Amino acid sequence: MMRVQLFLTCLGENFFSPVLKDMVSVLERLGMDVAMPEGQTCCGQPFYNSGAQSQAVAPARNFLRVFGPTDGYIVAPSGSCVDFVRHHLPELFPAETREHRLAQEVAARTYEFSEFLVRVANVRDVGATFPHKVTYHASCHALRGLGLREESKQLLRAVKGVELVPLNEEETCCGFGGVFSVVYPEVSSSMMQAKIKNIQESGAEFVVMGDPGCMMNIAGGLKKIGSPIRALHLISVLAAQ
Protein backbone atom coordinates (compact mmCIF):
# COMPACT_ATOMS: atom_id res chain seq x y z
CA MET A 1 0.00 0.00 0.00
CA MET A 2 1.35 3.39 -1.02
CA ARG A 3 1.62 5.97 1.68
CA VAL A 4 0.76 9.54 0.68
CA GLN A 5 1.46 12.62 2.79
CA LEU A 6 -0.86 15.46 1.84
CA PHE A 7 0.89 18.74 1.11
CA LEU A 8 -2.11 21.08 1.28
CA THR A 9 -0.49 24.29 -0.05
CA CYS A 10 -1.66 27.73 1.11
CA LEU A 11 -3.96 28.54 -1.77
CA GLY A 12 -5.32 25.02 -1.89
CA GLU A 13 -6.14 25.01 1.78
CA ASN A 14 -7.53 28.53 2.09
CA PHE A 15 -9.55 28.76 -1.10
CA PHE A 16 -10.18 25.26 -2.40
CA SER A 17 -11.06 22.94 0.50
CA PRO A 18 -13.34 20.84 -1.72
CA VAL A 19 -10.37 20.06 -4.00
CA LEU A 20 -8.40 18.71 -1.03
CA LYS A 21 -11.35 16.57 0.08
CA ASP A 22 -11.62 15.26 -3.49
CA MET A 23 -7.90 14.53 -3.41
CA VAL A 24 -8.35 12.32 -0.34
CA SER A 25 -11.27 10.58 -1.98
CA VAL A 26 -9.41 9.81 -5.23
CA LEU A 27 -6.29 8.59 -3.44
CA GLU A 28 -8.28 6.37 -1.06
CA ARG A 29 -10.33 5.03 -3.93
CA LEU A 30 -7.03 3.94 -5.47
CA GLY A 31 -6.22 2.13 -2.23
CA MET A 32 -3.64 4.50 -0.86
CA ASP A 33 -2.95 5.24 2.77
CA VAL A 34 -3.45 9.00 3.11
CA ALA A 35 -2.01 11.08 5.96
CA MET A 36 -1.98 14.78 6.72
CA PRO A 37 1.21 15.86 8.51
CA GLU A 38 0.38 18.33 11.28
CA GLY A 39 2.04 21.72 11.52
CA GLN A 40 2.37 22.43 7.80
CA THR A 41 2.08 26.02 6.66
CA CYS A 42 3.56 27.49 3.49
CA CYS A 43 6.63 26.21 1.65
CA GLY A 44 8.13 29.71 1.26
CA GLN A 45 7.64 30.14 -2.47
CA PRO A 46 5.83 33.51 -2.25
CA PHE A 47 8.80 35.02 -0.40
CA TYR A 48 11.37 33.44 -2.67
CA ASN A 49 9.60 34.58 -5.83
CA SER A 50 9.12 38.11 -4.62
CA GLY A 51 12.80 38.61 -3.91
CA ALA A 52 12.72 38.22 -0.12
CA GLN A 53 14.74 35.06 -0.40
CA SER A 54 16.18 35.19 3.10
CA GLN A 55 12.60 35.29 4.43
CA ALA A 56 11.79 32.09 2.56
CA VAL A 57 14.14 30.17 4.85
CA ALA A 58 11.86 30.11 7.92
CA PRO A 59 8.79 28.66 6.19
CA ALA A 60 11.06 26.27 4.27
CA ARG A 61 12.58 25.12 7.57
CA ASN A 62 9.09 24.52 8.95
CA PHE A 63 8.31 22.51 5.82
CA LEU A 64 11.32 20.29 6.51
CA ARG A 65 10.39 19.98 10.19
CA VAL A 66 6.91 18.78 9.22
CA PHE A 67 7.65 16.59 6.21
CA GLY A 68 11.18 15.47 7.04
CA PRO A 69 10.15 12.79 9.57
CA THR A 70 7.32 11.39 7.39
CA ASP A 71 7.61 8.48 5.02
CA GLY A 72 6.18 7.75 1.59
CA TYR A 73 5.30 10.23 -1.11
CA ILE A 74 4.44 13.87 -0.54
CA VAL A 75 1.71 14.92 -2.96
CA ALA A 76 0.31 18.39 -3.67
CA PRO A 77 -2.55 19.71 -5.80
CA SER A 78 -0.19 22.33 -7.26
CA GLY A 79 2.63 22.15 -9.79
CA SER A 80 3.91 25.52 -8.71
CA CYS A 81 4.51 24.53 -5.06
CA VAL A 82 6.09 21.24 -6.11
CA ASP A 83 8.37 23.01 -8.57
CA PHE A 84 9.52 25.26 -5.73
CA VAL A 85 10.09 22.40 -3.28
CA ARG A 86 11.92 20.32 -5.85
CA HIS A 87 14.10 22.97 -7.46
CA HIS A 88 14.49 25.87 -5.08
CA LEU A 89 13.90 24.82 -1.49
CA PRO A 90 17.17 22.87 -1.22
CA GLU A 91 19.04 25.95 -2.55
CA LEU A 92 17.97 27.88 0.54
CA PHE A 93 20.32 25.84 2.70
CA PRO A 94 24.12 25.80 2.29
CA ALA A 95 25.49 22.75 0.51
CA GLU A 96 26.82 19.92 2.69
CA THR A 97 24.61 20.90 5.65
CA ARG A 98 22.17 18.51 7.30
CA GLU A 99 19.26 20.71 6.26
CA HIS A 100 20.40 20.76 2.63
CA ARG A 101 20.55 16.97 2.56
CA LEU A 102 17.17 16.70 4.24
CA ALA A 103 15.70 19.19 1.75
CA GLN A 104 17.02 17.11 -1.14
CA GLU A 105 15.59 13.94 0.37
CA VAL A 106 12.17 15.55 0.92
CA ALA A 107 12.22 17.19 -2.52
CA ALA A 108 12.92 13.86 -4.19
CA ARG A 109 9.67 12.35 -2.89
CA THR A 110 7.45 15.39 -3.47
CA TYR A 111 5.11 15.15 -6.48
CA GLU A 112 2.39 17.07 -8.21
CA PHE A 113 -0.90 15.14 -8.21
CA SER A 114 -1.10 14.16 -11.91
CA GLU A 115 2.63 13.46 -11.96
CA PHE A 116 2.24 11.15 -8.98
CA LEU A 117 -0.68 9.23 -10.44
CA VAL A 118 0.79 8.76 -13.93
CA ARG A 119 4.52 8.50 -13.28
CA VAL A 120 4.68 6.95 -9.82
CA ALA A 121 1.46 5.02 -9.26
CA ASN A 122 1.16 4.22 -12.98
CA VAL A 123 -2.56 4.98 -13.00
CA ARG A 124 -4.49 6.47 -15.92
CA ASP A 125 -8.09 5.46 -15.22
CA VAL A 126 -9.23 6.43 -11.72
CA GLY A 127 -12.75 5.18 -12.36
CA ALA A 128 -14.38 8.61 -12.61
CA THR A 129 -17.41 9.66 -14.62
CA PHE A 130 -17.94 13.22 -15.80
CA PRO A 131 -20.28 13.53 -18.80
CA HIS A 132 -19.26 17.00 -19.92
CA LYS A 133 -17.33 18.92 -22.53
CA VAL A 134 -14.08 20.14 -20.94
CA THR A 135 -10.96 21.95 -22.06
CA TYR A 136 -7.56 21.99 -20.39
CA HIS A 137 -5.33 24.90 -19.36
CA ALA A 138 -1.66 24.03 -18.83
CA SER A 139 -0.18 25.69 -15.75
CA CYS A 140 3.27 27.16 -16.36
CA HIS A 141 5.21 25.64 -13.47
CA ALA A 142 3.85 22.14 -13.96
CA LEU A 143 4.50 22.43 -17.68
CA ARG A 144 7.95 24.03 -17.74
CA GLY A 145 9.18 23.52 -14.20
CA LEU A 146 8.17 19.86 -13.89
CA GLY A 147 7.93 18.93 -17.57
CA LEU A 148 4.33 17.70 -17.28
CA ARG A 149 2.77 18.08 -20.70
CA GLU A 150 0.49 15.08 -21.20
CA GLU A 151 -0.14 13.60 -17.74
CA SER A 152 -3.26 15.59 -16.86
CA LYS A 153 -4.76 15.03 -20.28
CA GLN A 154 -4.09 11.29 -20.07
CA LEU A 155 -6.03 11.19 -16.81
CA LEU A 156 -8.84 13.33 -18.25
CA ARG A 157 -9.23 11.23 -21.38
CA ALA A 158 -9.72 8.13 -19.23
CA VAL A 159 -12.67 9.72 -17.41
CA LYS A 160 -15.94 8.21 -18.58
CA GLY A 161 -18.10 10.73 -20.46
CA VAL A 162 -15.49 13.45 -20.75
CA GLU A 163 -15.19 15.14 -24.11
CA LEU A 164 -11.83 16.93 -24.13
CA VAL A 165 -11.77 19.83 -26.59
CA PRO A 166 -8.60 21.74 -27.49
CA LEU A 167 -7.81 25.16 -25.99
CA ASN A 168 -6.17 27.69 -28.25
CA GLU A 169 -2.91 28.90 -26.61
CA GLU A 170 -3.24 26.14 -24.03
CA GLU A 171 0.34 26.70 -22.85
CA THR A 172 0.17 30.49 -22.56
CA CYS A 173 0.26 31.88 -19.02
CA CYS A 174 -3.10 32.97 -17.58
CA GLY A 175 -1.50 36.01 -15.97
CA PHE A 176 -1.55 34.90 -12.33
CA GLY A 177 2.16 34.74 -11.54
CA GLY A 178 1.72 35.14 -7.77
CA VAL A 179 3.08 38.53 -6.77
CA PHE A 180 2.92 39.64 -10.42
CA SER A 181 -0.89 39.71 -10.33
CA VAL A 182 -0.91 42.37 -7.62
CA VAL A 183 2.22 44.29 -8.60
CA TYR A 184 1.04 44.73 -12.19
CA PRO A 185 -2.74 44.15 -12.02
CA GLU A 186 -3.44 45.76 -15.40
CA VAL A 187 -1.12 43.46 -17.31
CA SER A 188 -2.16 40.41 -15.32
CA SER A 189 -5.80 41.15 -16.00
CA SER A 190 -5.20 41.66 -19.69
CA MET A 191 -3.46 38.26 -19.89
CA MET A 192 -6.31 36.69 -17.92
CA GLN A 193 -8.87 38.14 -20.31
CA ALA A 194 -7.03 36.70 -23.31
CA LYS A 195 -7.11 33.29 -21.61
CA ILE A 196 -10.84 33.63 -20.87
CA LYS A 197 -11.53 34.53 -24.50
CA ASN A 198 -9.79 31.36 -25.66
CA ILE A 199 -11.73 29.32 -23.09
CA GLN A 200 -15.02 30.76 -24.34
CA GLU A 201 -14.08 30.02 -27.93
CA SER A 202 -13.27 26.40 -27.08
CA GLY A 203 -16.95 25.68 -26.55
CA ALA A 204 -16.30 23.78 -23.32
CA GLU A 205 -18.59 23.78 -20.27
CA PHE A 206 -15.65 23.40 -17.90
CA VAL A 207 -12.04 24.51 -17.99
CA VAL A 208 -9.83 22.09 -16.10
CA MET A 209 -6.41 22.89 -14.62
CA GLY A 210 -3.99 21.66 -11.99
CA ASP A 211 -2.97 24.70 -10.02
CA PRO A 212 -4.89 26.66 -7.36
CA GLY A 213 -3.15 29.87 -8.49
CA CYS A 214 -4.52 29.60 -12.02
CA MET A 215 -7.88 28.52 -10.51
CA MET A 216 -8.17 31.72 -8.47
CA ASN A 217 -7.38 33.79 -11.52
CA ILE A 218 -9.42 32.00 -14.16
CA ALA A 219 -12.42 31.21 -11.94
CA GLY A 220 -12.48 34.85 -10.86
CA GLY A 221 -12.24 36.04 -14.45
CA LEU A 222 -15.15 33.83 -15.50
CA LYS A 223 -17.21 34.98 -12.51
CA LYS A 224 -16.49 38.62 -13.30
CA ILE A 225 -18.13 38.39 -16.72
CA GLY A 226 -20.91 36.13 -15.49
CA SER A 227 -19.84 33.26 -17.73
CA PRO A 228 -21.62 29.92 -17.28
CA ILE A 229 -18.28 28.15 -17.85
CA ARG A 230 -16.77 26.86 -14.61
CA ALA A 231 -13.14 26.43 -13.63
CA LEU A 232 -12.40 23.06 -12.05
CA HIS A 233 -9.33 21.46 -10.59
CA LEU A 234 -8.36 18.24 -12.34
CA ILE A 235 -8.72 16.46 -9.01
CA SER A 236 -12.40 17.40 -8.78
CA VAL A 237 -13.06 15.89 -12.20
CA LEU A 238 -11.23 12.72 -11.17
CA ALA A 239 -13.31 12.53 -7.99
CA ALA A 240 -16.63 12.79 -9.83
CA GLN A 241 -18.64 9.57 -10.02
Partner 1 sequence: MSELDHIDFRANVQHVPAHVPQSVRKATSKFLGTRANVVGIVGDERWQQLRQAGHDIRLHTLDHLDYYLTRLEENVARAGGIVHWARDADEARRIVLDIAHEHKVKRAVKAKSMATEEIGLNHALIDAGVQTLETDLGEFIIQLAGVGPSHIIVPAVHLTKEGIADLFTEKLGVNAPPDPLELCAIARTKLREEFLAADMGISGANFMVAESGTLVIVTNEGNGRMCTTLPPLHVAVVGIDKVVPDFESVNVLLKLLPRSATGQKMSTYTSFITGPRRATDEGGPQEFHLVLLDNGRTRVLRDHVTRETLLCIRCGVCLNVCPVYNHVGGHAYGAVYSGPIGAILAPQLLGVARAGDLPFASSLCGACADYCPVKIPIPQILLRLRHRVVEGDQIEAATASSAIRVGTRVGAFALSHSLLYEFGARMMKFVQAPLRRDGWLPNLPPPANRWTMARPLPAFGADFRDWFRKRTPAGRQRVQKRKLGIGLLFAGIAAVGAFLLARRKKD
- Which residues contact partner 1 (rule: CB under 8 A)? 6, 8, 10, 13-17, 20-21, 24, 36, 38-42, 44, 46-56, 58-59, 61-62, 66, 140-141, 144-145, 171-173, 175-192, 194, 216-217, 219-221, 223-224
Kindly report the backbone phi and psi dihedral angles of residue 217, in degrees, each rounded to the nearest multiple of 5, phi listed first: -70, -50
- Nearest approach in angstroms of CB 69 to partner 1 is 15
- Nearest approach in angstroms of CB 125 to partner 1 is 26
- Nearest approach in angstroms of CB 160 to partner 1 is 27
List 160's β-bridge partners, or say none.
129
DSSP codes, 220-241: HHHHHTT-S-EEEEHHHHHH--
Residue 158 or 179 having the CB closest to partner 1: 179
- Rounded CA gap, 208 and 153, in Å? 10
- Nearest approach in angstroms of CB 235 to partner 1 is 13
Residue 59 or 134 having the CB closest to partner 1: 59
- Nearest approach in angstroms of CB 157 to partner 1 is 24
Quick one: 226 exposed, middle or buried, by C-beta within 10 A (0-12, 13-18, 19+)? exposed
Residue 206's CB is within 10 A of a number of other CB atoms, namely 18
Residue 124 or 200 having the CB closest to partner 1: 200
Residue 106's CB is within 10 A of a number of other CB atoms, namely 23
Residue 168 or 241 having the CB closest to partner 1: 168
- Rounded CA gap, 214 and 228, in Å? 18
- Rounded CA gap, 116 and 145, in Å? 15
Residue 133 or 180 having the CB closest to partner 1: 180
Query: Quick check: helix, strand or coil at residue 136?
Result: strand
Kindly report the backbone phi and psi dihedral angles of residue 146, in degrees, each rounded to the nearest multiple of 5, phi listed first: -110, -5
- Rounded CA gap, 132 and 165, in Å? 10
Residue 162 or 239 having the CB closest to partner 1: 239
